[in-house]
Structure 1
Amino acid sequence: DIAFSLRRVTAYKWNEKTPIKQRGWYYRDDTGDVQGPYPSSWMRSWHQEGHFDPEIEVCFGDPSLWFKVYHLFPGPNVTFVITKALVKRDAAKAAAFLKHRLGTGTGAPG
């Protein structure tokens, strides 16, 4: 899905712009407090163990651009894994989609 791809590219780029010591995953706890940063492996483990509500908001990098977990990852197996290779694939998929949509005359702003 293109929306997943675009969100992952955005999250990855956001993390890259974050100072090194602040990079990683953040989440908002039940009281709305921001927790993090944590490495992908910790977040994935906590998610697989059921510690996060499906509606939890997360951020990759500077905690100001938030997404619900299910808006970044459509399935539980790859949760909290955003690699450079995945981002390249997602960016190419999004570019191809936009080229097709704009090239056919449908979906173009009017």
Structure 2
Amino acid sequence: MNISSIVVQVLPKYMDGVLEILKNAQFCDYHYHDSETGKIIVTIEGESVDDEIRNLKIIQGIEHVIAADMMMSYSEDELDREIKKLEAQNAVPEMLNDDTIEAKDIVYHGDLKKKNI
């Protein structure tokens, strides 16, 4: 399952008409609007990214919609893959558990706030 938030931009004078379409739509869920700025927040969902893109294009095709863009997206399958990767990794590098290595011999090659140590 994929869920994404969409910010829809319309001219304030067209807000009522576009809002009515989005509130009654089967392809999205209405959450919030600001009549002064012409912004509307909806979410779309689908079994795949293709499903979401199809719904986004429907919103973009509504008369008087200036722009409709994904702001935040959640993909259940992608999250599951990343969790499995994390679970498969050893949280502590082997060298830190090796009693034969002196702490002074461990060299850090990372970056802490853009400062190499």
TM-score w.r.t. length of structure 1: 0.31
Q: By percentage of residues, which structure has more helix?
A: 1
TM-score w.r.t. length of structure 2: 0.30
Larger Rg: 2
Q: By percentage of residues, which structure has more strand?
A: 2
